[in-house]
Structure 1
Amino acid sequence: MKRSGPLFTLLAGLLLALVMLSLNAATGKGTSSYGNSPAPAPSAVPNTEKPSPAATTAAPKPSRTATPPPDASYAGRTKDDKASVAISLKGGKAIAYFCDGRTKEAWLKGDVKDDGTMRLTGSDGAKLDGTLRGNKVDGTVTVRKQAWQFTAAKAVKPSGLYRATTEVRGAKIDGGWIVLQDGRQVGIVDSDGEPAAAPPIDPQTGAVTVNGTEITAAPAVP
């Protein structure tokens, strides 16, 4: 009976081992280190998509600044050499004078575009269509339903356009003078609605005597 002790202990140990193996099989957990290792992380998939280029914004074109023709005066003759035309420009505006030195005259005014074109108008349907190119204005002036072609070159003082508006001995005086580049003068003085050839002015001072009274003609500007 003394020998049964170790045998019983051995059987008990085998039984315990069998129970443990049954438990491991039921739970799916092994005793090896592989069962306890965490699942491997999925490998990173390389991104083959190319990044979209940043949106580019075209640089704005510089805006064109309007530049009127420079201030200047122009004087010349009609194509038939029967009358004179003078034009004065300032700040994109223009004033013009047509005169035959006897009875026909017209004052006109209007705007000058950036490209040098102008369309000036006056009383009684008078009009002037001209274009400034370089140092001259070419165009057509219409007065009393008659049209004249003209060319007016740049005028440097004392040549240019002059005007005097005043009252002499109760009469309203309105005089216009065109001083050409060669010194010739063409003008008309209207005294209370009666036009007549204008007496010459002193281009240096603008002094002129009308009906026995000295007045002053000044450069005409818009």
Structure 2
Amino acid sequence: MKRPGPLITLLVGLLLGLFMLSLNATTGTKTVSSTPKKESPPVTASPAPTKTSASPSPSPSPSRVPVPDASYAGRTDDDSSAVAVTVRDRKAIAYFCDGHSMESWLKGDVKDDGSMRLTGRNGDELNGTLQQGKRIHGSVDVGGEHYAFTADEAKKPSGLYRATTTVRGARLDGGWIVLPGGKQVGIVTRDSRASAAPAIDPETGAVTVDGQQLTARPATP
């Protein structure tokens, strides 16, 4: 038997080469770069900003109003009594008087907003507000009774006067309110016994009580 010739060997080799070439084309072998690829760091989502509650606004402080040194005088709304207030350096003294037998001296401070709470004996109390430095509007509680009042700024000789002395061994305490227009309301107390006070000279404060010459002076805190 004859051996296949060189032509057959060449043909077989050619077919084998074609087979291998088509095999590479169908599998799609990819050349890999020798340089390692740098991976990107994972992206993390930023947390949503939290809503902070607004800080509570501080309570507004009371507005400061001018508190001039001045005197105020007027009558209660029922016209039964008179009220006078004198203010010095934001301190106040007040006098309530019906001109017969009921009276009360009160004192206290004037706050930044012009309000005042003045107190006296036996729980007597005056509450008022200074309005634009021209008048005081409020109420006074004396002897278990409640009175609303308005006292306007008083120019001399109007205002509040007081005299304290001893006459024939008796302690005497007199209070006078000189209203705008000149009308006077006052009480003299002799050892706790009250009675209507004689009129004073508003220019000098001179007054005669029980035959004794006295001088009533402007009352100040």
Q: Please, what TM-score do these two structures have when normalized by structure 1?
A: 0.70
CA deviation profile, 1:184-210 (whole Å, cap 9, x unmatched): 000000011110000000011000000
The 2-side partners of 1:136 and 1:87 are apart by 10
Do the aligned residues in 1 keep the contact of 2:65 with 2:114 (CA within 8 Å)?
Answer: no
Indicate whether 1:73 and 2:85 are aligned: no
Identical-residue share of aligned pairs (%): 62
Hey, what does 1:125 align to over in structure 2? 123
1:80-95 → structure 2 map (5 Å cutoff)? 80-95=78-93
1:159-178 → structure 2 map (5 Å cutoff)? 159-178=158-177
Hey, what does 1:182 align to over in structure 2? 181
The 2-side partners of 1:67 and 1:173 are apart by 38
Hey, what does 1:208 align to over in structure 2? 207
- How many residue pairs get matched? 159
The 2-side partners of 1:82 and 1:67 are apart by 31
The 1-side partners of 2:144 and 2:220 are apart by 26
1:102-113 → structure 2 map (5 Å cutoff)? 102-113=100-111
Counterpart AA for 1:126: D
Secondary structure class of the residue paired with 1:124 = helix
Secondary structure class of the residue paired with 1:69 = coil
Counterpart AA for 2:205: G
Cα drift, residue 174 of structure 1: 0.4
Secondary structure class of the residue paired with 1:106 = strand
The 1-side partners of 2:114 and 2:144 are apart by 25
Structure 1 moving runs of 4+ over 6 Å:
none
Secondary structure class of the residue paired with 1:221 = coil
The 2-side partners of 1:119 and 1:107 are apart by 13
The 2-side partners of 1:182 and 1:114 are apart by 31
Cα drift, residue 67 of structure 1: 7.0
Counterpart AA for 1:69: V
Do the aligned residues in 2 keep the contact of 1:68 with 1:92 (CA within 8 Å)?
Answer: no
Q: Please, what TM-score do these two structures have when normalized by structure 2?
A: 0.70
Indicate whether 1:158 and 2:157 are aligned: yes
What 5-or-longer segments of structure 2 have no aligned partner?
A: 1-63
Indicate whether 1:136 and 2:135 are aligned: yes
Do the aligned residues in 2 keep the contact of 1:158 with 1:179 (CA within 8 Å)?
Answer: yes
**RMSD, matched Cα:** 1.5
Cα drift, residue 92 of structure 1: 0.6
Secondary structure class of the residue paired with 2:104 = strand
Secondary structure class of the residue paired with 2:122 = helix
The 1-side partners of 2:113 and 2:170 are apart by 42
Do the aligned residues in 1 keep the contact of 2:65 with 2:113 (CA within 8 Å)?
Answer: no
The 1-side partners of 2:89 and 2:66 are apart by 7
Counterpart AA for 2:102: K
1:14-33 → structure 2 map (5 Å cutoff)? none
What 5-or-longer segments of structure 1 have no aligned partner?
A: 1-65
The 2-side partners of 1:168 and 1:203 are apart by 22
